[in-house]
């Protein structure tokens, strides 16, 4: 379950920010997750609750924001939104697409006390 290690990384970022900005507690963590990131959201939510125990983010709410998949179409030379990596171009129907986004996961922001 790589979601556990993702949450450990999130915890490290939170702890670094808490030290740098004298944060007493984190109420909410918002993460952006790309469509192609390969993250299982229920597993991430479970891992988040477990990994945050004993930290400034213990009991914090995890909000997961979806980012679309994006690809460059070499037929019509446009960047387009796609639902699946092997989808054709929604604009021209072409099949020569190179994914350019949607595989990322990042902390968007924190609600803190």
pLDDT digits (tens, 9 = 90+) for 33-64: 999 999 999 999 999 999 999 999 999 999 99
Contact 6, 34 (CB under 8 A): no
What's the residue count for the chain? 113
Q: What percent of the chain has pLDDT over 90?
A: 96
Q: How far is residue 67's CA from residue 5's CA, in Å, rounded to a whole number?
A: 21
How far, CA to CA in Å, does 61 sit from each of 31, 49, 51, 55, 110?
A: 11, 9, 13, 13, 10
**Band of residue 1 on the pLDDT scale cut at 50, 70, 90:** low
pLDDT at site 97: 96
Got the DSSP string for 14-70?
Answer: HHHHHHHHT---EEEEEEEEETTS---HHHHHHHHHHHTTTSTTTTPEEEEEEE-EE
Domain that holds residue 73: 2-112
Domain harbouring 70, CATH code? 3.30.2320.80
pLDDT at site 33: 98
- Number of folded domains in the chain? 1
Please give the model's pTM, rounded to 2 decimal places.
0.88
């Amino acid at each position: 379950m790589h979601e556990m290690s993702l949450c450990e990384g999130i915890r490290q970022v939170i702890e670094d920010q808490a030290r740098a900005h004298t944060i007493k507690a984190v109420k909410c963590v918002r993460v952006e997750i790309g469509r192609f990131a390969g993250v299982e959201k229920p597993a991430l939510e479970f891992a988040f609750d477990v990994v945050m125990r004993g930290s400034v983010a213990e009991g914090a709410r995890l909000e997961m924001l979806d980012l679309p998949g994006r690809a460059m179409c070499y037929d019509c030379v446009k960047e387009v939104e796609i639902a699946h990596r092997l989808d054709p171009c929604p604009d021209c129907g072409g099949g020569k697409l190179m994914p350019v986004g949607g595989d990322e996961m990042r902390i968007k922001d924190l609600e803190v006390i």
